[in-house]
A = this chain, B = another copy of it.
Amino acid sequence: MVKVVAFDADDTLWHNEHLFLETRDRFTALLAGYHEKGWIEDRLYETELRNLGIFGYGIKGFALSMIETAIDLTETRVTGADVAEIIELAKGMLDAPVTLIDGAEETLKEVAGRYRAIIVTKGDLFDQETKLARSGLGNLVDTVEVVSDKSVNTYRRIMRSLAVSPEEFVMVGNSLRSDILPVIEIGGHAVFVSYETTWEHESVSDTALERLDFLRAESIADVPALLERFGEPRPRIPG
């Protein structure tokens, strides 16, 4: 029944969010002379959300939002040296080694032996491609789709290009908002693999999760066994 298994990449196959957390910490430390940590973090988050529609997701937009925040909350007194430090933080993120999540490679191999395995990752095209190259996982999958947003329409387009129906498609990922909800909404399957930390923007309220039909895995290594459950016919809910 299932033909395609799609994996999210950031924080599903390799560690990513820790880079943002570490950079946020160094950013707040840089501006510690001006404001309290929590207040700086809140302003940065506001700037990121405000800029999302113009920068999209990714490290370069995040860097520009950090610089903008630093200028705003120092009333332009931030020094050139501090801004240079922010750019170096961003370059460090873009250049960081890719650390695979335990079990990711083995899981991908196992799944690719039984289904068509693909990667669907959101963010900056160039950054995602270089991470994929550094991860060594590219050869294990059939296709890699880098998308600017994981909306219902994005998943519809991907399914159409792969010529599969939603019932034949499983998405595996750590973001309820991006990997699970939109796929379930159009009748696909999803496996949620929890990650230690998730960006506030990607979180979803508990009420939105009620009545949603997806599976939860404690670890990516549990995914192959869970996939077999989608082969079973679903119980009909009398309407």
Contact = CB atoms under 8 A, between A and B. Distances in A.
A64 B65 CA distance: 11
B67 A76 contact: no
Contacts of A41: none
Interface in A132-150: 146-148
Interface stretch (A19-27, A53-61, A183-191): A53-61
A158 to B, nearest CB: 13
A90 interface: yes
B56 A127 contact: yes
Interface in A79-126: 79-81, 83-84, 87, 90-91, 94-95, 124-126
Contacts of A71: 80-81, 83-84, 87
A74 interface: yes
Given A87-B64, A94-B55, A95-B54, A79 B76 contact: yes
Contacts of A76: 79-81, 84
Contacts of A124: 56, 124-126
A81 to B, nearest CB: 5
A181 interface: no
Contacts of A60: 55, 58, 60-61, 64
B55 A84 contact: no
Given A58-B126, A63-B64, A71-B83, 10 more contacts: A55-B94, A60-B60, A60-B64, A67-B87, A76-B79, A76-B84, A80-B83, A124-B126, A125-B147, A126-B148
Interface of A: 54-58, 60-61, 63-64, 67-68, 70-71, 74-81, 83-84, 87, 90-91, 94-95, 124-127, 129, 146-148
Nearest 5 Cβ contacts at the A-B interface:
A56-B126, A76-B80, A60-B60, A125-B125, A126-B148
20 contacts: A54-B94, A55-B60, A56-B126, A57-B126, A58-B126, A60-B60, A64-B87, A67-B83, A67-B87, A68-B84, A71-B80, A71-B84, A74-B80, A76-B81, A76-B84, A77-B80, A78-B80, A80-B83, A126-B148, A129-B148
